[in-house]
Every structure is written in C-alpha cells, then in structure tokens.
Amino acid sequence: MLQIISLVVVAITIYLLIKQYETRMVLIGSGLVMCLLALTPMAGLDAFSERMTSGSLIQAICASMGFAYVMKYTECDTHLVRTLTGMMSRMGFFLIPMTVVVTYFINIAIPSAAGCAAAVGATLIPLLIGARIHPAIAGAAVLSGTIGSFLSPGMSHNAFVSNLYNEVMVGTEGFTKMEVIDLIKHHAPISIAVGIIGAVSLSIVALVRKEFRIELAEGAEQGAEVKEKPKANYLYATAPFVPLILLLIAGLTDWFGAVKMTVPSAMVIGAIYALVITRCSPTAMTKQFFSGMGNAYGDVLGIIIAAAVFAAGLKVSGLIDSFIFFLTHHPELARWGGTIGPFLMGIITGSGDAAALAFNETVTRHAADLGYTIPDLGMAAAIAGALGRTMSPIAGVTIVCAGLAAANPVELIKRTAPGMLIAVCFVALFML
C-alpha cells in the first residue's frame, strides 16, 4: 500500500514539474511527504543536511559560477564571442554547422545554456539571417550548440557524478579518486560526438527544407544586418579558458610537479588573470565572484539538495529497492530508462537537470548491480536530459534563441528534433 501511495506522489511530482512549479519546492515537498508516509520524517531532513555540506560539490560548482560572474563583469566572455564570430561572415551555407560548433565551444567557457545563447545569439543569429538563412534555422543553430557545457569543469553534473563515484566506490579494490577533469576526459568522446550529430543533422534539415539562400521579406535583410560591433580584444578573449587549460595541463602532464590543481584553485587563478589583463576594480570583481558563488549555491546546489530529499523519500518508501530489483533482472531496461526517462522529462519540463539528478541520486549509485559504471550511467542520464531540454519549446534557452531570431519556439524545435533524437539513441547505444 505504501508503494502505491508513493507512486501517486511521484505522479503528482511529475505533473507539478510539467506545470512549471518551483523545482526545489516540488522535490523537497514530495520527498518529505513520502518520508512521513513511511513514518521516518527525519530521513528526508538528514538527506537535506548531508547533501548541503558536500564539500567537493560546493567547491567545484560555487567557484565555477563565481568565475563565470567575473567573466561577465569584465566582458571577457563578450570578447571571446567577438573573436570567434569575427571571421564567419563569408561562409555561406557552412555558417549553419559552424554556428553550432562555435556555440558548443563557447558553452564550455560559459556553462549556462541561456547565458551562452544570449551572448552568442546576439551576434550570430542576425549574421545567419543576413546571409539569407531561415530565422528558425538560425535560432536552432545556436540552440543546438548549447550542450558543450558537459566539457566544462563548472558543469554541475560533472561535479555530482564524480563525487558520487568517489562516495560509492571508496574502499573498493583498485579504487582511485576521480577528479572532475578525469570524468570529463572519460565522457569527452561521446559529448563531442553528440555535438557533431547536432551540427550535421541541422545542416541536413536546412538542405532538405531548402532553408538557406531564402528570399527575405522586403526590408528584412537590412533589418538583419549585423550592427557595427567594437573590435574584439584577443587578450581578453583568452581569460574564459584559463581554468580549463590549467586543469587539462594538471590532468594530462606533470608540468606542475607535486602541486595539485583543483577546480577552485583554477577558477581563482583565472579570475586573477582577468583582473590583471582588464585592470578592472578589484573590489567590484571580488564582489562579483562571491555573488556568483552565492547564487550557485541557491540555484544549482539547491536543486541537488532537493533531489537528495526526493531520493530519500523514494528510498524509505521502498520504491528504489523495487526498481533496482526489477532492473537487476532486466538490466537492458536501465540503458533506456536512464536515457529516455531524463530525455522525455527534459522535453516536458524544459529542464533535464531535475530528472537526471534524481535518477543519479537514486539509481546510478547502484550502477554496478546493473552491469554499468557510475561515470557511464550518470553522464548518460545527464547528457540525455540536456538533449531533451534542447528539444523543449518551453526551455529558457529555446525562448532566448527564438526571441533573438523573431521565430516561434516550436519552429526551432522542429529543426533540432531530428538531431536530438539521433543523439539520445547514440548515447544509449554507445555509452551504455
């Protein structure tokens, strides 16, 4: 009876998420209700307390967001966009795949999908429309590139999955602590392949629909012309990638000797580098850094904490044990449940984060019992959720791209959908 009632609670949770109610409120409320039904109310509160003090998660996510705020304050992210888009005006049809690639690349330095789309789209979408490419394709090109953040050390899923691996596997034979950069190296081939699928499929869609070299409405071409922009400062443009370069050097070479380069260390060094080259106010920059850290805790870690409370409710209700028992006897279903589930939730809710985090908190820690590894199952769920978000007409990033292209969000989704469907199947088949 308890499990049946808990299933009803889960169904209500999904409904509320679809209706765009506050994600953290819904997950925490649902988790606590299930804990109360199981007569163990402290289980959810203990999960809240435990997750809110996860040191490695707090360090990686908060420091990365602080650095992102510094990049915005110093306008180094803007100069990066100008640098990469400056030579693209004469590429014709190849502007479409190149826009996806450039957005993907910049999304590594600006992990926020909506933030990256706003920064890149303001320049590239008018450029594509001015090159007689259909506005919906122009917006979809930027939208398709907003999955590059999985190669960023500041991506919350990278920190979460690596932390989960260390938490579950510590003490086992042959265990070696997994750093965020180690996880990125592990899933990078799949993440890059997903980006390529997005670029190629959108180009094919444009060819099939004949949405390049279109005849623009009278006056539209002039309206789509890219306004004169200030020149890019190439030195400023290097700042967003300083932390990533430091972490890659530390992870791939022994140049730093015995010095251990952590994500917070790399972010602070990157912020200092930006301070030196831009000569901005140290006081203002420091305030921006810590403001970013605070917002990261509330907005990003808040969802992770809420997912932990929800997972605790599922655990004490017995649903997780029943689900794991079912999957251990039908392990092939974990391949599709771990990808299609977050993918569909990403489409329906406009965010794949909540579904992927809840799945990873509950199921991925049992990955070995299902015949998978935590890094593979965890990142497959996270990437699938992001692909679903890129196919959602109500996602914030979709609305940003549609607004910049002056197109209906549904029209953008019609063009990104083939690539996202192919990509999620690719993840399920080749990552798991």
For the stretch 58-115, pLDDT in tens is 888 888 889 989 998 999 988 888 887 766 666 778 889 999 998 999 898 888 888 8
Angle at 19 between CA 15 and CA 21, to 5 degrees: 100
Ramachandran region, residue 261 (left: φ > 0; alpha: ψ -120 to 50; beta: rest)? beta
pLDDT value for 36: 94
Contact 135, 213 (CB under 8 A): no
Q: Higher pLDDT residue, 319 or 221? A: 319
pLDDT value for 135: 92
User: Which amino acid is present at 142?
Assistant: V
pLDDT value for 73: 93
Range 276-311 burial, b when 16+ CB lie within 10 A, else e: ebbebeeeebeebbeebbebbbeebbbbbbbbbbbb
**Closest to 226 measured CA to CA, from 349, 369, 125, 350:** 125
Tens digits of residue pLDDT in 183-213: 999 999 999 999 999 999 999 999 999 888 7
pLDDT value for 150: 94
Confidence of residue 257 (pLDDT cuts 50, 70, 90): confident
pLDDT value for 411: 93
pLDDT value for 218: 47
User: Which amino acid is present at 367?
Assistant: A
For the cut 60, the answer to whether the pLDDT of residue 222 exceeds it is no
Return the percentage of the chain with pLDDT > 90, whole number.
Answer: 40
**CB-count exposure of residue 355 (10 Å: 0-12, 13-18, 19+):** buried
Confidence of residue 311 (pLDDT cuts 50, 70, 90): confident
Backbone angles phi, psi at 212, to 5 degrees: -130, 155
User: Which amino acid is present at 244?
Assistant: L
Q: Which two tokens mark 331? A: 């392990």
